[in-house]
Amino acid sequence: MPVHGLTTSSQFRAISVPAERRWRATLLATLAGALVFFIFEASKSAIFPSLTIWQSHNITIAFGSMIAGGAAWFAMVRQASMLQTLAAEEALRERLEIRQRALEESE
């Protein structure tokens, strides 16, 4: 049975990303995040050497929050796009099945 007019769970499993690819993507994202924060912290210390520890923490928290918000927005936009594609494909498949049944019945 379709979920909210989209696809069944077995159809979602058929399009899922292989575990090895997920691990690589996760590792790459983790390493990229660590590199970005390393560069950010080094730059912050070089540009503002007189910051107190709490000022430094507040700047890091603000920067990290913006990065996390941007990443979440990107992920949600991409997921919405994929779900929209799935819904359109499901609707097309249903229309084609109806036409096929009508053709089979007319023969």
Mean pLDDT of the chain: 87
Return the pLDDT at 76. Answer: 96
Return the pLDDT at 17. Answer: 74
Secondary structure string (H, E, C) spanning 57-81? HHHHHHHHHHHHHHHHHHHHHHHHH
Q: How far apart are CA 30 and CA 93, in angstroms?
A: 38
Binned at pLDDT 50, 70 and 90, residue 107 comes out as confident
pLDDT per residue as tens digits for the range 3-49: 444 445 555 555 677 888 889 999 999 999 999 999 999 999 999 99
Return the pLDDT at 10. Answer: 54
- Name the percent of the chain lying above pLDDT 70: 86
Return the pLDDT at 34. Answer: 96
